[in-house]
Homo-oligomer: A and B are copies of this chain.
Amino acid sequence: VRIALDAMGGDNAPSDPVAGAVQAARELDLAVALVGPRDIVATELARHRANGLSIDVIDAPDVIAMGEHPVQAVRSRPNASMNVAIRLVRDGSADGFVSAGNTGAAMVAALFGLGRVKGVERPALATIFPTLKGHCLILDVGANADCRAEHLFQFAIMGESYARLVLGHPRPVVGLLSNGEEESKGNKLVQDAHPLLRQSSLNFAGNVEGKDIPRGLVDVVVCDGFVGNVLVKLAEGIGELTFSLMREEIGRSPVGVIGALLLRPALRRIRRRVDYQEYGGAPLLGVRGTVIVAHGRSGPRAIRSALRVARQAALAKLPEAFDFRHPSLDGLGSPAPTEAPLETAT
């Protein structure tokens, strides 16, 4: 398995992506194509003992920066690292793509370069969320701000396949995010989507509420990309708040500081259980190829995790595994003619 890694993506590129690639190539059974300006990337790679590892550098002279407008940047710079890396996937010389760069641009580059899977109207970005029982998959978390019920059905199918084939849940339970458990609850979108999911072959648990996510009630949570984005970022903010409050309140007394020292191993274990770096980034599901978007702040360990996940997803041949058949929908009939630009997340 060979994964194309955007060497210029992320807050600390190229050093963290290159370091993560070296770790991954050393510890996991995979090859990495580092894509970026040849000189810069080769110089960075030379700092590591990478002899004998399956890593090569693929030249891409241009770079797309974090703040750029996704569609414009992707269109105007065909030789940006993301575009070159995606072409490796399209041409079959790489089995997957990983980037910690501009999320919107990575999604657009993947959509334009690879196209959509048959039956998918809107690809979805999925993220892994820690729960009391382990973790669950939430999608969409930012690719599509406005959705229709059929989109949510397609997200459910893709999320279920990913949870089963990549995350290893034997029979994933799928929930529809709503403002109440009863079938009558929800906004119009959720009320329209509920019967579609209920009549499908999915292991559907019905509506779930926000608090059911951390409780681990279901393995896959389906929502539109606006709600998904807001909630994932809220969780990030709550994590920050918790640690800030602890630092502030604990620092107020020497006894507290001693207590915190004694608790350090436990706190470290908790952090590991909720740390995004372990989970390895968000898969973009519904494009024809394996695409993993990592957090902009990804360090080497997070990049390594993203490469590991990309490898697993590539081996699972996800796009071919999706089964969109539905008694009341022509799931496979949706045409995928034009390049409908994704509404993009940050």
Contacts and interface: CB of A to CB of B under 8 A. Distances in A.
Interface in A264-306: 264-267, 269-270, 273-274
A40 interface: no
A121 B254 CA distance: 54
Interface in A202-258: 209-215, 223-227, 229-238, 240-242, 244-246, 249-250, 252-253, 255-256, 258
A332 interface: no
A238 B238 contact: yes
Contacts of A146: 187-188
Nearest to A215: B237
A190 B226 CA distance: 10
Contacts of A233: 209-211
B210 A179 contact: no
Contacts of A240: 132, 211, 214-215
A345 interface: yes
A92 interface: no
A108 to B, nearest CB: 14
A187 B224 contact: yes
Interface residues of A, number: 66
Given A253-B266, A262-B259, A211 B187 contact: no
Contact of A210 (B177, B230, B246): B230
A346 B213 contact: no
A187 B234 contact: no
A128 B261 CA distance: 33
Nearest to A231: B234
B263 A259 contact: yes
A249 B264 CA distance: 11
Contact of A261 (B179, B250, B259, B260): B259
A179 B342 CA distance: 14
Nearest to A217: B237
Contact of A230 (B179, B242, B270, B274): B179
A160 to B, nearest CB: 21
B232 A250 contact: no
A216 to B, nearest CB: 9
16 contacts: A132-B240, A142-B179, A145-B188, A178-B230, A209-B230, A209-B233, A211-B233, A214-B240, A227-B227, A230-B230, A245-B274, A249-B270, A249-B273, A253-B265, A256-B266, A259-B264
